[in-house]
Structure 1
Amino acid sequence: MYQVLYRKWRPKAFAEVTGQQHVTKTLLHELQSDRIAHAYLFTGSRGTGKTTCAKILAKAVNCLHPVNGDPCNQCEICTGIDDGSILDVVEIDAASNNGVDNIRDLREEATFTPTAAKYRVYIIDEVHMLSIGAFNALLKTLEEPPAHVLFILATTEVHKLPATILSRCQRFDFKRIAPEDMSKRLHYVAQQEGIDLTEDGAMLISRIADGALRDALSLLDQCAGQGGRVDEKAVTAAAGLAGREHLFILSKAVRTNDVPLALEVVDQLHSASRDMARVCEELINHYRHLMLIRSMEDASRYIVCSSQELDQLKEEASQYTMPAILHALSVLGRVLDHMPSVANRRVEMETALVRLCNPQLDGSNEALVRRMEKLESAMRSGRLTPSTQTSGTAVSHQPEAQKEHLESETVAENNIYQPVKETTAVPTKKKPSQQAVQPVPLTCWPEVLSELSQTAKPLHGVLDGSAAYEAGNRILIDAPNPLAKILINEAEHRDALRQAIQNQTGRRYGLGPYRREENSDHQDPMAALEKKLDALGIPMDKK
């Protein structure tokens, strides 16, 4: 009967364990110096070698002919433990044997001496699944076990263990296996099994396994079952992942706001029976790579990919801004959380891409920062400049504050910063009744800003340092930040501002910008001083 690779190539000596030298070195020294503890706790993520090291340790303490601390794997004890004929080594699954009665039975068995081996070894896997009562029943035996008993506890969630258990064990933390170490092990296994494994295929398997060698060997077994060469293309097909080209096309579509292209790619992936959750995970990982490249000079240490793909990632990252990358990570992260509970994952993925291509459809803070950064970049490069006039429109030279009083309420409702087109006319003297109302400061403006800090935080941020003036049935806003004009022109923020003003004043006002009057006859004070000194014949030294 065929035996899967991760079982066939399970390490039988500490030297064969991959990526856990800090654990194996300590255990070997304890075995060589005969300083064996009565209880061990192995913690770490799945597939990192916890159960493997527990079985090697169980054989090493009972081996008849140990070799520098390692088991010989040839004596009757070692072979008996491997084939399960030695009953002195017991492996217990705590997920299905988690009750008080199970632990009581274990305590009763522990009092009996081993039948064939030197130690009776109990390997309790997933020990965090034990109930509180079971933990309490195990405490006394774990603290002072018989001399012939050895406990080895293994768990992936050490934070769920009581402190009383942790204090009674010698703890070893297993790290995720580095991709380079995992790739070497995969090449070794592939060579022994006669599998044609390429370098890029091994690296992709290592990246997918995420530090778990057992998962990597299982995926290699699956790829080898397809026949032929195990390269990047074969691994992509076996794992059900989106190919690299799809990820780059999707990120380009988001960058260029190309919604049709993004939806077309999703349709192709769906037609190929790709799992949308896996596609979302790969796209998140893709944007993580872009974030790392944008954040540091050399990100190759933290990105598992070929040199050719790294060049592609660098080129793509150079065309992205950090706010856009963070916005994509935020949206895709929320979508990935929701996918397990939605009926149609494709729709969820399409919705996310539409929001990424159109940040104005997303009300999150990340989307707003992305839009603001784009506006600031356009203003710095000269592609967008704040303007108070429309080209081809003649604007009268009357004081700006008075001109605002003559603008219609309809203009204020739709776009408060849209200039009013005026025709050049012969100036006529206005009657006193026609004079505009002089603006007066709005005393409750701090309270309005305080309310906005709760209801419209982005608008509150750009209105920092602003002032407001009441002029008849309109509120004129004096904001030093040019982005305030852009935000207030949006219906959502304009309505929030008007509602906050109404809550404080009890009246419904129109909105408009406040522009300070400019005195055309005003003269520079320095120029006036220079003129007076010239009249008196006093020279003025200009520096």
Structure 2
Amino acid sequence: MYYALYRKYRPRVFEDVIGQDHITVTLRNEVARGHTAHSYLFTGSRGTGKTTCARILAKAVNCEHPVNGDPCLSCDTCRGIEEGSVLDIVEIDAASNNGVDNIRELKEEANFMPTSAKMRVYIIDEVHMLSPGAFNALLKIMEEPPEHVMFILATTEAHKVLPTIISRCQRFDFHRVDAQVIADFLLTIAEKEGVSLQQDAALTIAALADGGVRDAMSLLDQCMSKAQTITAEVVRESAGLISDDYLFTLSGQIAAHSVNDIFSTVSELSALSLDPGRLCEQLISHYRCLMLTKSGCSSLQLLSCLPQEFERYQQTAAKCSMPEILRVLRLLQDTLDRMGRVHNRRLELEMCLLQCASPALDTSSDALLTRLEKLETQLASGSIPVMQAPAVGLSSGTPREEMGVPVQASHETVADEAPAPVAPAPHPAKNPRAKLPSYDQATPIEQWADILQILSRTNPALTGALSGSTAYLSGEFVLIDFKSPLFSKIIREDSFAKETLRAAIAKVLGHSYRLGPYKAPSREGMQMQQENPVEELLRRAKENGIEVIEK
């Protein structure tokens, strides 16, 4: 009969328990000196050895020939306990026996002397699942327990156990086992089983187990059924994980704002039947490593990665800013929380990645910090010239007109051209409005659809905001008649989107233009241009009741 690895290699004495020396040494000394307590509380995460130590302790206190606090494993009592034939060792699952009646039956049995062992030991697993009434019933017998009774309570959530119960127990907190310790243990087991387990594969299993030895052994068991030579890739396939290459690819696409490439990668992973929630968890772990690396952390144990992976994290982190990493982390964490409440998990993930790659769509404080940091970097590098504030009272024109920006009342968007570098003040131009675009002379751009098609490859969000728009050419300006207010918001707040649009225009039209909003000329303005200026002056004077003498 085949036994699972975690059962086959379950520790039989305290010395075999790995990673819990702070507990096993104390328990061995208590047994050796005969100073055992009547109740214990073992708490810690799953797979760290709580139930295993409880069974070893039950054997040790009942062993006929204990060896330095460990059970001898050869006497009738030790063999009977391991076979499960000793009735004085009672294991109770509190998750299914959590009522008051179950604890009352236990209290009645506890009053009887043991049948074959020295002590009657009750091992109550997941004790936090007991009902309030059951806790109170258990408290009564733990206050004045019989001398021949020992209680060992095990739980993963000690905060749910009544304080009055905890105060009557010796509490032992089981720690998560170090990844390197688990990896060495797995290599030993693989050697005994005649399986080739590579070092990086053992470390990968240990990292996935998150400190749980039982989880690590179960995953190793699954990998052994898949291949005789276990590599890191075999481990990822058995655990349903994607390759780290995909994670670095996605983070690079997010940093480059390549939305189309992100959707293509997600589609490729979906074809491999990868669960979106699992991918989101992996991305969170990936960006956590980027955050730690960006902070200067170089501990492979803290990062839970291999040495060759650490070099890639350093290269990737150098291309990202800390606010950007934190922003993506929060978006991924919020998405993972929502995935449990939505039906279409893939759509939820795609929406999240779209926000990650398009800062203009994110109005959170992290996104604003990222934009400010990007602007500061551009100012420091000189890619954005600094404008000197104009002196007060030197010009009668409006500030927007002096900067060469068309005045537009119906739109919030202003021209995007950066101010010219600081230079000696030029002589006043004879016609200060000569550089402004003329709306009535603007000509439609017939290639606007081609421009939007090129833009859709690099910035789908901006292309969507320009849906139904038209554009006109007037001098050095491309005037856009947009329908969605989202376009105005994106252009104002995202310099990358603005430059992407200008690049698409330059690619089609062969020249770099400034951007501005389009305003259709009014009928009154057209009529004024067609009339004689003198006649127009006379007409307006008569309308206002001014006496006009014609000579």
Fold shared per TM-score above 0.5: yes
> Partners of 2:431 and 2:74 in 1: how far apart?
112
Confirm or deny: 8 A CA contact 1:43 1:172 kept in the other structure: yes
Match of 1:124 in 2: 124
Deviation of the 1:15 alpha carbon: 0.9
1:119-268 superposed matches below 5 A? 119-268=119-268
Deviation of the 1:135 alpha carbon: 0.6
Q: Please, what TM-score do these two structures have when normalized by structure 1?
A: 0.75
Match of 2:66 in 1: 66
Confirm or deny: 8 A CA contact 1:197 1:231 kept in the other structure: yes
Match of 1:316, SS state, is helix
Match of 2:77 in 1: 77
Match of 1:5 in 2: 5
Match of 2:41, SS state, is strand
Where does the alignment leave 5 or more consecutive residues of structure 2 unmatched? 421-427, 433-488, 495-551
Deviation of the 1:400 alpha carbon: 5.5
Equivalent AA in structure 2 for residue 339 of structure 1: M
Deviation of the 1:418 alpha carbon: 6.6
Does 2:107 correspond to 1:99? no
Deviation of the 1:87 alpha carbon: 0.7
> Partners of 2:395 and 2:140 in 1: how far apart?
86
Root-mean-square deviation (CA, aligned residues, Å) is: 2.6
Does 2:381 correspond to 1:414? no
Match of 2:429 in 1: 424
Match of 1:463 in 2: none
Confirm or deny: 8 A CA contact 2:40 2:153 kept in the other structure: yes
> Quick one: structure 1 residues 211 and 414, their matched pair in 2 at CA, closer, same or farther if it must change by over 3 Å?
same
> Partners of 1:36 and 1:396 in 2: how far apart?
87
Deviation of the 1:228 alpha carbon: 2.5
Match of 1:173, SS state, is strand
User: Which range is displaced more, 397-406 or 72-81?
Assistant: 397-406
Confirm or deny: 8 A CA contact 1:91 1:125 kept in the other structure: yes
> Partners of 1:15 and 1:297 in 2: how far apart?
34
Deviation of the 1:279 alpha carbon: 1.2
> Partners of 1:364 and 1:75 in 2: how far apart?
67
Confirm or deny: 8 A CA contact 1:98 1:129 kept in the other structure: yes
Match of 1:532 in 2: none
Equivalent AA in structure 1 for residue 408 of structure 2: T
1:6-45 superposed matches below 5 A? 6-45=6-45
> Partners of 2:490 and 2:264 in 1: how far apart?
33
Percent identity between the aligned chains? 49
Deviation of the 1:84 alpha carbon: 0.8
> Partners of 1:137 and 1:67 in 2: how far apart?
36
Deviation of the 1:319 alpha carbon: 1.2
Confirm or deny: 8 A CA contact 1:289 1:303 kept in the other structure: yes
1:261-276 superposed matches below 5 A? 261-276=261-276
Could you list the per-position Cα deviations for residues 119-163 of structure 1 after superposition, in whole angstroms to 9, with x for gaps in the alignment?
A: 100000000000110111111211221000000000000111111
Confirm or deny: 8 A CA contact 2:300 2:306 kept in the other structure: no
Deviation of the 1:415 alpha carbon: 3.4
Deviation of the 1:309 alpha carbon: 1.1
Could you list the per-position Cα deviations for residues 84-139 of structure 1 after superposition, in whole angstroms to 9, with x for gaps in the alignment?
A: 10010000000000010000000000000000100100000000000110111111
> Quick one: structure 1 residues 148 and 401, their matched pair in 2 at CA, closer, same or farther if it must change by over 3 Å?
farther
Q: Please, what TM-score do these two structures have when normalized by structure 2?
A: 0.74
Deviation of the 1:398 alpha carbon: 5.8
> Quick one: structure 1 residues 409 and 312, their matched pair in 2 at CA, closer, same or farther if it must change by over 3 Å?
closer
Confirm or deny: 8 A CA contact 2:400 2:407 kept in the other structure: no
Deviation of the 1:487 alpha carbon: 10
> Partners of 1:426 and 1:317 in 2: how far apart?
52
Deviation of the 1:411 alpha carbon: 5.1
> Quick one: structure 1 residues 364 and 76, their matched pair in 2 at CA, closer, same or farther if it must change by over 3 Å?
same
> Partners of 1:331 and 1:343 in 2: how far apart?
19
Match of 1:403 in 2: 398
Deviation of the 1:416 alpha carbon: 5.7
1:403-482 superposed matches below 5 A? 403-404=398-399, 410=408, 413-415=411-413, 424-425=429-430
1:368-387 superposed matches below 5 A? 368-387=368-387
Deviation of the 1:408 alpha carbon: 7.8
Equivalent AA in structure 2 for residue 194 of structure 1: G
> Partners of 1:18 and 1:69 in 2: how far apart?
17
> Quick one: structure 1 residues 404 and 153, their matched pair in 2 at CA, closer, same or farther if it must change by over 3 Å?
same
> Partners of 2:218 and 2:171 in 1: how far apart?
28
Deviation of the 1:387 alpha carbon: 3.8
> Partners of 2:18 and 2:209 in 1: how far apart?
14
Match of 1:241, SS state, is coil
Deviation of the 1:414 alpha carbon: 2.0
Confirm or deny: 8 A CA contact 1:292 1:299 kept in the other structure: no
Match of 1:122, SS state, is strand
Equivalent AA in structure 2 for residue 399 of structure 1: L
> Partners of 1:65 and 1:296 in 2: how far apart?
54
Deviation of the 1:370 alpha carbon: 1.4
> Quick one: structure 1 residues 490 and 326, their matched pair in 2 at CA, closer, same or farther if it must change by over 3 Å?
closer
User: Which range is displaced more, 377-386 or 1-10?
Assistant: 377-386
Does 2:78 correspond to 1:115? no
> Partners of 1:95 and 1:320 in 2: how far apart?
47
Equivalent AA in structure 2 for residue 424 of structure 1: A
Match of 1:410, SS state, is coil
> Partners of 2:185 and 2:49 in 1: how far apart?
13
> Quick one: structure 1 residues 125 and 425, their matched pair in 2 at CA, closer, same or farther if it must change by over 3 Å?
same
> Partners of 2:410 and 2:32 in 1: how far apart?
85
Aligned length: 428
User: Which range is displaced more, 292-301 or 321-330?
Assistant: 292-301
> Partners of 1:488 and 1:358 in 2: how far apart?
13
> Partners of 1:165 and 1:248 in 2: how far apart?
49
Match of 2:114, SS state, is coil
Confirm or deny: 8 A CA contact 1:293 1:299 kept in the other structure: no
1:326-341 superposed matches below 5 A? 326-341=326-341
> Quick one: structure 1 residues 38 and 396, their matched pair in 2 at CA, closer, same or farther if it must change by over 3 Å?
closer
Confirm or deny: 8 A CA contact 1:91 1:123 kept in the other structure: yes
